[in-house]
């Protein structure tokens, strides 16, 4: 999880520009899915075979974003 948070922090501005108002799922420091809803982001990560801890985040203007840290096994 720490790798995901560290990577996200370093990439946040670029991710906001690339995926405005989208939900991203990160695993092992990589963006593995981008979607319009949390469930779609999780399902896309699941289809890619991710069975480890995910970092899920809604991108948008920094002042408006909220991170949801999920410690789940898919």
Contacts with 39 (C-beta within 8 Å, 6 or more apart), sequence order: none
Query: pTM value?
Result: 0.74
Closest CA to 70 of 54, 52, 57: 54
Domain boundaries, the chain: 2-70
Is the pLDDT score of 67 beyond 80?
A: no
| 6-54 residue pLDDT tens | 888 899 899 999 999 999 998 888 899 999 999 999 999 888 876 667 8
Three-class SS state of 36: coil
pLDDT at 18: 94
Beta bridge partners of 69: 55
Question: How many CA atoms lie within 13 Å of 64's alpha carbon, on the beta-carbon side?
Answer: 8
């Amino acid at each position: 999880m720490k790798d995901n948070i560290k990577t996200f922090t370093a990439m946040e501005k670029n991710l906001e520009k690339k995926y405005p108002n989208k939900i991203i799922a990160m695993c092992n420091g990589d963006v593995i899915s981008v979607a319009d809803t949390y469930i779609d982001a999780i399902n896309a990560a699941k289809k890619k075979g991710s069975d480890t801890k995910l970092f899920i985040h809604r991108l948008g203007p920094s002042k408006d974003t909220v991170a949801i840290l999920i410690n789940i096994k898919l």
